[in-house]
């Protein structure tokens, strides 16, 4: 189908910085910690004194950024980065995020972790109204919805667009005026806020990335929230109050790093408890418990603990 987005993102990593002169380098380091969330492509947009600049490509972060000199053109007080994983097709350069849009009145960078369930129908409607898409990713739909509201205040544009998209999503947008983060009404995909000791704020997909850059955890972005970070600080708003926290179970089972916390629950400890529960529900006569690297190792520890069967390393992953 020509209208069908080919890059439906299920598990991606997003990392944004506002208010620090080393924003691009910090973002680069943060994305390394989120590499497990996406290996198909990577990109960083830097807000420089000359406007927004982007470096992006297919492959791992280390393949896209082969030397530190590639970060030099991105140096500025803010940056937005993304590592991409898609569930169907679309492994092409045009779908690598952050997407960067240059309009006559402003430039906007957009990064997304999630899946818009009504992206196909929205894209058809937008194209019927004259919209021209530059990618096949569902992410771009949000930007076209925003630009339909030109003439309204920026936050009104953003809130209106966020209420038109359905699914599980965590969006981050970067403009010359601020960094904006929004999470779907169920908090299906995680997003956290952190603060740097030498100045500036961070929004990213996991707390492990905050730890990697030496940032202090501030809070989880709650369902339906719209966070603004600008030169005046951190502002918390909502695009909807019809919310209910329902984090995707796969974040705890597989997607997230074991050293991350999601809404106050440590991922490693959650997996250990899953293993303990499994041992009670499905006891087994065995000599040893072996976890399959890497996501099931914590659960295997829990199974061994609850069952009394010794835990051993029986499988090795070449890394």
Q: Which domains does the chain have, with CATH numbers?
A: 13-247 (3.60.20.10), 264-307 (no CATH)
Cα gap 279→5, rounded to integer Å: 42
Segment 255-270 mean pLDDT: 98
Do the Cβ atoms of 46 and 76 come closer than 8 Å? yes
Residue 292: CB atoms within 10 A of its CB come to 12
* pLDDT of the residue at 91: 78
174 vs 148, higher pLDDT: 174
* pLDDT of the residue at 89: 40
* pLDDT of the residue at 149: 87
Q: How many Cα atoms within 13 Å fall on the side-chain side of residue 71?
A: 20
What residues contact 86, with CB distance under 8 A and at least 6 apart?
A: 6, 7, 8, 9, 10, 40, 95
Active-site positions?
A: 12
pLDDT digits (tens, 9 = 90+) for 17-74: 999 999 999 999 999 999 999 999 999 999 999 999 999 999 999 999 999 999 999 9
Q: With pLDDT > 90 as the criterion, what percentage of the chain qualifies?
A: 90
Q: Is the pLDDT of residue 162 over 60?
A: yes
pLDDT digits (tens, 9 = 90+) for 197-247: 999 999 999 999 999 999 999 999 999 999 999 999 999 999 999 999 999
Cα gap 158→11, rounded to integer Å: 23
* pLDDT of the residue at 8: 38
* pLDDT of the residue at 7: 41
Cα gap 302→101, rounded to integer Å: 47
């Amino acid at each position: 189908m020509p209208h069908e987005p080919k890059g439906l993102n299920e598990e991606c990593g997003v990392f944004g910085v506002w208010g620090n002169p080393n924003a691009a380098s910090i973002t680069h380091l943060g994305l390394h910690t989120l590499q497990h969330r996406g290996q198909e492509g990577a990109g960083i947009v830097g807000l420089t004194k000359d406007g927004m600049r982007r470096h992006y490509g297919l492959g791992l972060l280390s393949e896209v950024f082969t030397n530190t000199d590639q970060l030099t053109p991105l140096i500025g007080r803010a940056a937005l980065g993304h590592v991409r994983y898609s569930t169907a097709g679309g492994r092409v350069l045009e779908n690598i995020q952050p997407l960067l849009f240059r309009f006559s009145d402003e430039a906007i960078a957009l990064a997304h972790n999630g899946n818009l369930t009504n992206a196909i129908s929205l894209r058809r409607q937008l194209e019927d109204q004259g919209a021209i898409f530059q990618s096949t990713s569902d992410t771009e739909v949000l930007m076209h919805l925003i630009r339909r509201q030109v003439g309204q205040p920026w936050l009104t544009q953003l809130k209106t667009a966020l209420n038109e998209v359905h699914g599980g999503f965590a969006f981050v947008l970067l403009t010359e005026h601020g960094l904006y983060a929004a999470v779907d009404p169920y908090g299906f995909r995680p997003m956290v806020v952190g603060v740097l000791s030498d100045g500036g704020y961070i929004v990213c997909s996991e707390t492990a990335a905050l730890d990697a850059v030496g940032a202090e955890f501030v809070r989880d972005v709650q369902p339906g929230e719209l966070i603004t970070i600008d030169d005046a600080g951190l502002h918390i708003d909502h695009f909807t109050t019809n919310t209910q926290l329902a984090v995707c179970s796969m974040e705890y089972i597989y997607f997230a790093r074991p050293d991350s916390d999601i809404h106050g629950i440590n991922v490693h400890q959650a997996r250990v408890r899953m293993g303990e529960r499994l041992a009670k529900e499905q006891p087994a006569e065995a000599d040893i418990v072996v976890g399959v690297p890497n996501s099931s190792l914590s659960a295997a520890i829990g199974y061994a603990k609850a069952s009394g069967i010794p835990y051993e390393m029986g499988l090795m992953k070449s890394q």
